Structure 1
Amino acid sequence: MERTLAAEDQVDLERLCKRPGDRILMAAEEGGIERIDARFSGKGYAPHRHDTYALGLTVRGVQTFHYRGAARASLPGQIIVLHPDELHDGGAGTDEGLSYRMLYLPPEDVAEATLSAGQASELPFVSTPVISDPEFQLALREGLSDLDEPIGSLRRDSLIAALTQCLQRHGGRARLRKSVLHWPGLQRCAEHLRENAVGSVQSEELETVAELDRFTLARQFKRAFGTSPHRYQVMRRLERARAGIRSGVPLASAAVDAGFADQAHMSRHFKRTYGMTPGHWQRLLHSTDWHTKSDRGCS
């Protein structure tokens, strides 16, 4: 399996990126799912946290990171599972450098797939962040292959179902709760935050939209989406800012257009979330001439 991954990676790297050095290749975002192919030598990311599941596949080298108070390491073929809103860093553990692929899966997709299976539960938590599992690897490789091709709705739904099953299996089935999530209201709340990411949203608005009091809303939103309503809105701003930066908008303009007070405000949130400054991220993207098929020239 390791030889297969290395061979596949070599073909993709020769096809997608002919220049050496650190770089990140980003596929076009589809329905909240993001996919990257990255290569680093030395330290790649400062401590940061996402509001999604981060599901990674180490392709070459040794991937090292700190997570939940311990140093971790992933070898080629192993899977990394990071829970939403958990602090972590990352980089290469040897002089050989590191090549890996990562899929960022929105927790609301996992929650919806769980509910559709007739299970009312909180998000599955995988306590062991480095896993060796051929079935999980196969599902993840299916989602991470052909980054220059769109996933498509049919493949996306199957991918979410398969990855959710793997997360539940390794998480021991998520614990059942006596109180059932008010899922329709939570979905309306998340949609309202997405649609109003640039503006200011007050607690009273969300109470009306979700038909829940603010404290129940805060608790249930965290269980459903893995993060708080405020951070969920900030993440949608960062997504808007990244889209602007990728398309060539100056950093200061991208910050204001996304709803941040200024570039410094955006930079603070950007580094906390992605482990690097917007300028560094921009340089890594521009270190390759690879483009996704769906948005030629802006990856």
Structure 2
Amino acid sequence: MKHSAHGLLDEGLGLAMAAGSGLERSCIRPAPATDTIRMGRDLGPVERIEAVFSGNGFSPHRHDTYAIGLTLSGVQTFAYRGESRYSTPGNIIVLHPDELHDGGAGTDAGLRYRMIYIPPELVLEAGRRQGDSLPFVAAPVFSDPDLAATLAEVLHDLDQVPEELAFSDQIARIADGLARNALARPAMSKTPARSAVAQASAYLRENCNRPVSSQELEGVTDLDRYTLARQFRQLTGTSPHRYQVMRRLERARSAMLAGMPIAEAAFDAGFADQAHFTRHFKKSYGMTPGRFQVISRN
């Protein structure tokens, strides 16, 4: 059965609202005029945010996580996979890793939304019984009351670190929701090198502030660089190089949120210079480091 945007708001979010989620208040508040990004207090590699924008919020960019969220007020517009997309309150948005997109408010009333960013390897682990390929949801804006209720639950309180036991259940339910709405994907390798990719990912995270060579990863994983590149993309949705760049950006962004000057944060994260850092930051987050530092808060 299909649901309208308002129907989804009532049916999908209503489940979480009945449990006192508090998102119902967010849905009816008028959006303030000042652009802001509020960062959640999060567990592990998963991030949650609330963003408020008037006009264009992000220039075209891509990231290496699933971006899954709810439009809370206003009209959310973005270009994705060659088309202009629109989301209104109650709709679910799902953006696949490494897909180019922008974002902003579609009307003068502005826009408020909340989003969770989940690494693809966590989606794959949580949905392991679904297969060895990442779930691909072709329609980036859609209705699913059960998934909407789960998202309302996990996004309702950004000021508290999620309880680990509840969070594991929420991620599993999100993975199930993605699989439920995903298209069948072409058959991939029947024996993906999960262990090798996990070892490579861990090594890249631990050494994110310096260049890592293909030869190093070959030694860590016992796979040749080309096999590793294919397996890495199959299981994470991106390349080893881009994975490491994103970990560097996360390190620099955390330092900036803690008050470190942009140039120092860039150097600490292993970027050659501030210009190099700024290019990567804008490509991945859709805005310059300076603008991010101005509008963001923990």
TM-score relative to the length of structure 1: 0.89
For residues 241-278 of structure 1, the C-alpha deviation after alignment (integer angstroms, 9 at most, x for no partner) is 00110000000000000110111111100000000000
> Does 1:149 pair with 2:171?
no
Q: Structure 1 residues 134 and 201 mapped into 2: Cα distance closer, same or farther (>3 Å)? A: same
Map 1:80-159 → 2, pairs under 5 A = 80-115=93-128, 117=129, 119-159=130-170
1:268 maps to which residue? 279
Aligned 8 A contact 1:198 1:257 in 2: yes
Q: Structure 1 residues 135 and 10 mapped into 2: Cα distance closer, same or farther (>3 Å)? A: closer
Aligned 8 A contact 1:120 1:181 in 2: no
For residues 188-211 of structure 1, the C-alpha deviation after alignment (integer angstroms, 9 at most, x for no partner) is 000000000001111011112112
Per the TM alignment, residue 14 of structure 1 is displaced from its structure 2 partner at its CA by 11
Amino acid at match of 1:164: A
What secondary structure, in the 3-state scheme, does the structure 2 residue paired with 1:95 have? coil
What secondary structure, in the 3-state scheme, does the structure 2 residue paired with 1:192 have? helix
Aligned 8 A contact 1:121 1:176 in 2: no
For residues 231-250 of structure 1, the C-alpha deviation after alignment (integer angstroms, 9 at most, x for no partner) is 00000000000011000000
Distance 1:214 1:199 in 2: 19
1:238 maps to which residue? 249
Distance 1:176 1:159 in 2: 28
Distance 2:196 2:22 in 1: 44
Aligned 8 A contact 1:120 1:177 in 2: no
Amino acid at match of 1:154: L
Map 1:1-299 → 2, pairs under 5 A = 2=9, 8-9=22-23, 11=25, 20-115=33-128, 117=129, 119-172=130-183, 174-285=185-296, 299=298
Aligned pairs, how many?
284
Q: What CA RMSD, in Å, does the superposition of the two structures yield over aligned residues?
A: 2.3
Aligned 8 A contact 1:120 1:176 in 2: no
Amino acid at match of 2:249: L
Distance 1:77 1:36 in 2: 17
Distance 1:207 1:128 in 2: 37
Aligned 8 A contact 2:205 2:247 in 1: yes
Distance 2:144 2:94 in 1: 12
The gaps in structure 1 that reach 5 residues or longer are 287-298
For residues 124-176 of structure 1, the C-alpha deviation after alignment (integer angstroms, 9 at most, x for no partner) is 11000001111110111111011101112112211111011111111135554
Amino acid at match of 1:191: A
When structure 1 is superposed on structure 2, of 19-28 and 90-99 the one drifting more is 19-28
Amino acid at match of 1:74: S
Per the TM alignment, residue 177 of structure 1 is displaced from its structure 2 partner at its CA by 3.0
Distance 1:266 1:178 in 2: 35
What secondary structure, in the 3-state scheme, does the structure 2 residue paired with 1:269 have? helix
Identity %: 52
Amino acid at match of 2:157: D
What secondary structure, in the 3-state scheme, does the structure 2 residue paired with 1:199 have? coil
